[in-house]
Amino acid sequence: MQLALAHPKYGYYKSKEPFGAEGDFTTAPEISQMFGELIGMWCADIWHKMGTPQDIELVEIGPGRGTLMKDFLRATRKIPGFHESISISMVETSDRLSEIQHQAINHLHPRVKWFTEISKIPNKPVIIVANELFDALPVRQYIKQDDKWHEKQVGLNQNGELDFMLLKSSTTHEKKHEHTKNGSVIEVCTTAMSIIETLSQKIKQYGGAALIIDYGYNEPEYKNTLLAIGNHKQCNLLENIGEVDISAHVDFAMLKNFAEHFGMTAYGPTFQGEFLQKIGIDIRTETLLNNATEKQQKDIKTARDRLIGNNKDQMGELFKVLALTNTEIKPEGF
Ligand code: SAH
């Protein structure tokens, strides 16, 4: 999964344009400007609750095309003192996407820097945002068979083709998931754990908050959630490697437990729909509708419904929001 997505030459994020109507999937910031605007207002509110520190790092991990940050910066421009106090760190592994992000936002703020790892960002108070980052991180999969856990791996079969194969696993899953039936699957994302550890330690030491939004679950369902998507359709994981997106649902219970272990106070996970409504998507929608043509009004309403609706093709319940803080700050939206 790591190679398929991030290989310097053949990786999916390195070579293909995944986002938008032409691409393989559409993310919330690409659906509506309201998403980035509201996240911007949420962060500005956190900054106020921290006592308006004068030198603070605003960090986005996995910024895609930079759309969220573009809308964020536009929406928060007039908040007195905010832009003067922030410096921006964009944490991105793909050179191609970093370049696109550069073009999208560099002119909107005097202090924007790019890093390939969260551990490299400056040491100061931070507000961190990650939308649809964690579902793109590679997972290890374990499956229970004959009452034993096996790691599912990819190798070459006798015909010289890529195939799944099982390796008897010597992990400690036996104890923790003792009660599960044969056929159960667990997914473990060690990169997610190390990102949570690093960001929790930054927040604990220097103060601040993190906001994590993704497609995921609160309780493990012991199912395979690995999925390959090409041209908006599900396809075979082992065919067209590097040409199609691969993702896995995010284990929010794990993210939350892990962050709490590193001293964070966690809020949520809550549904994206509820979160966006609590932080003002209806008021923002009204304002946009008042200044729109009839065609634009229709698009604005469709976009709003897609972000907060509960149908299968909408994001309101499928996507969850988790906030982490170290202080007495109670974030909005929960
Ligand atoms: N947040 C954007 C893009 C989501 S796609 C949006 O909502 O539209 C996932 C993004 O995470 C891509 O930009 C990808 O290159 C980046 N990414 C993947 N693994 C990463 C890692 N380990 N660290 C930082 N960014 C990563």
The mean pLDDT of 92-99, rounded to a whole number, is 91
Give the tokens for residue 3: 């190679």
| 101 in contact with ligand 1, CB cutoff 6 A | no
pLDDT score at 305: 97
pLDDT score at 40: 98
pLDDT at 216 over 90: yes
What's the CA gap between 255 and 260, in Å, rounded? 9
The mean pLDDT of 256-277, rounded to a whole number, is 97
Residue of the CA atom closest to atom 15 of ligand 1: 94
pLDDT at 237 over 70: yes
Q: What is the pLDDT of residues 323-333, one digit of tens each?
A: 999 978 999 99
Q: In this structure, which amino acid lies at residue 187?
A: E
What pTM value is reported for the model? Answer: 0.95
What's the CA gap between 60 and 69, in Å, rounded? 8
**Considering Cα of 241, then 247, then 248, then 250, what sign does the dihedral take?**
positive
* Confidence at 175, pLDDT banded by 50, 70, 90: low
| 213 in contact with ligand 1, CB cutoff 6 A | no
Distance 17 CA to ligand 1 centre (A): 12
pLDDT score at 147: 86
pLDDT at 174 over 60: no
The mean pLDDT of 79-84, rounded to a whole number, is 98
pLDDT score at 170: 64
Residue ranges with strand state E in the chain: 56-61, 86-91, 112-115, 126-131, 140-145, 148-156, 162-168, 185-188, 208-217, 227-230, 233-235, 245-247, 250-251, 265-271, 319-325
What is the best residue among 133, 212, 246 to mutate for testing ligand 1's pocket, by most ligand atoms within 8 Å of CB? 133
Residue of the CA atom closest to atom 26 of ligand 1: 62
What's the CA gap between 39 and 331, in Å, rounded? 12
| 92 in contact with ligand 1, CB cutoff 6 A | yes
Q: Are 290 and 316 in contact (CB under 8 A)?
A: no
Spell out the domains of the chain, with CATH numbers in brackets.
16-136+190-219+244-325 (3.40.50.150)
Place of tokens 């961190």: 128
Give the tokens for residue 324: 């982490």
Distance 332 CA to ligand 1 centre (A): 25
Q: What is the pLDDT of residues 183-196, one digit of tens each?
A: 999 999 999 999 99
Residue of the CA atom closest to atom 16 of ligand 1: 62
Torsion of CA 70, 75, 78, 81, to 10 degrees: -70
pLDDT at 133 over 70: yes
pLDDT over 90 percentage in the chain? 80
| 13 in contact with ligand 1, CB cutoff 6 A | yes
* Confidence at 85, pLDDT banded by 50, 70, 90: very high
What is the best residue among 13, 27, 211 to mutate for testing ligand 1's pocket, by most ligand atoms within 8 Å of CB? 13
Lowest mean pLDDT: which of 13-17, 179-183, 240-244?
Answer: 13-17
Q: Are 243 and 274 in contact (CB under 8 A)?
A: no
Give the tokens for residue 172: 């400690």
pLDDT score at 21: 63
Q: Are 73 and 108 in contact (CB under 8 A)?
A: yes
pLDDT score at 171: 64
What's the CA gap between 171 and 149, in Å, rounded? 8
What's the CA gap between 9 and 1, in Å, rounded? 15
pLDDT at 232 over 90: no
The mean pLDDT of 43-66, rounded to a whole number, is 97
CA-nearest of 14, 121, 2, 19 to 60 is 121
